[in-house]
Each structure stands twice: as structure tokens, then as C-alpha cells.
Chain A
Amino acid sequence: EVQLLQSGGGLVQPGGSLRLSCVASGFTFGKSVVNWVRQAPGRGLEWLSGITESGDSTFYVDSVKGRFTISRDNAKNTLYLQMDSLRVDDTAIYYCANGTTGFDHWGQGALVTVAS
């Protein structure tokens, strides 16, 4: 069974940092493109970032470019999102998701709240 198990959410002050993790199992993680998607309270889905199988290439939406960093450790089957310079409007549920022709598996989500 494919699973993406997320951790690392929580409450952080504006300007602070947080790192999300997503541990994969049930598929060959090192052969899968993986992504981060978020959903602000009561809002729609926003793709944030993606990383290729080897980690050689990364992609970001403009709103997080320069503040968030996606990375992966294929030996640990783990995807990361380092979030710096967090703003109040970064408050959302953050999901990891794998796939290229649509996201066929999703993590359970991690709530990140940015507030003072």
C-alpha cells in the first residue's frame, strides 16, 4: 500500500521557519517526482513546488520562490519542505503528493499556522 506520512506542522511566528517532512512507502520513491501543495483555510488548492526523481531539478510557484526550499533524501524515502520567512498568509494545510500525470497519492496533510 502506498503511503505518504507527513510530519512537522505547527504554530510559528511571522518571519520564522519550519521544516515539513513526508516519508514515503509502498512504491519506489527514488523513481517518483514529488510535490508540495497547500490549501489555505476554506480555500482551494495551490501547487507550491516539485522535485525530480534524482533531485537535480526543482520548481516553485513565484509566491514561495526564495523562501521555501524543496529537497529529498532517496536513501530515507523522504521529501522535505524548508519554509523560511513565513508570513501570515502562508497559514494552510500542506500536502505532499507524488506523480507527474496528476497526483495519484497524497499525504494526510500538515497544518501550518503563522501567527503572533
Chain B
Amino acid sequence: DIVMTQSPDSLAVSLGERATIHCKSSQSVLFTSGKNSLAWYQQRPGQPPKLLIYWASTRESGVPDRFSGSGSGTDFTLTINTLQAEDVAVYYCQQYYSTPLTFGQGTKMEIK
């Protein structure tokens, strides 16, 4: 199974500042197509997760452009520029390279 490890577990950032979350996979999730099978989700309290990013860097329709994803192989980053109050949530990475599909443990984003 591919193990996904996120860091940090929690993060407090001031409004308007940048937040960065890291995700590391135990093996490469890079397809021969050159695409990385890595997604990012946002989960607000009491709600189901919401897809933010897929193929490591493609923003889902309707997601604000302050959210961006980067990385390749085993190391990935979710960046939230100009943090807003509504960005308070838990963020998860997920690999869909192979079954069982696996998620990181989550990173809790708070406002400083």
C-alpha cells in the first residue's frame, strides 16, 4: 500500500498570509504519461470533503486561484496564497495511482 504522510499536522497562519502543506508518498505516483496521481481536498467542519486539486496541480472548476498544487514523484505541496477566514479546514492529500487508494492523515488549518 502507498502511505501518504502530510506535514505539518496543524498550521496557524495569519489572514492574508501564505500557507504551505506538504505531502509525501511512500512510492512514486507518477504515471508514464507524466501525470502525478495526486489530489488535494478541503474538509470544513461537518461537511464532506471538497476536491481542490487533481493531477497534482490542476485546479478543480470553481476553486479560487489562491489554491495551487505542485510537486512530482513522491513530494507534493499545496499552497494557499492570501489566506481567507473561510479557508479554516482540514486538508488531505490522496493518491489514486493504485488501490487501495490512500489519504494523508490531514493537516488542520487555523487562523493565527
Contacts and interface: CB of A to CB of B under 8 A. Distances in A.
Interface residues of A, number: 22
Contacts of A101: 37, 39, 54-55, 96
Q: State the majority secondary structure of interface residues on A.
A: loop
Interface in B50-69: 50-51, 53-55, 60
A62 B39 CA distance: 22
Contacts of A80: none
A46 B102 CA distance: 7
A15 interface: no
A59 B106 contact: no
Interface in A33-61: 35, 44-47, 50, 59-61
Interface of B: 37, 39, 41, 43, 48-51, 53-55, 60, 92, 94, 96, 99-106
Interface of A: 35, 44-47, 50, 59-62, 95, 97, 99-104, 106-109
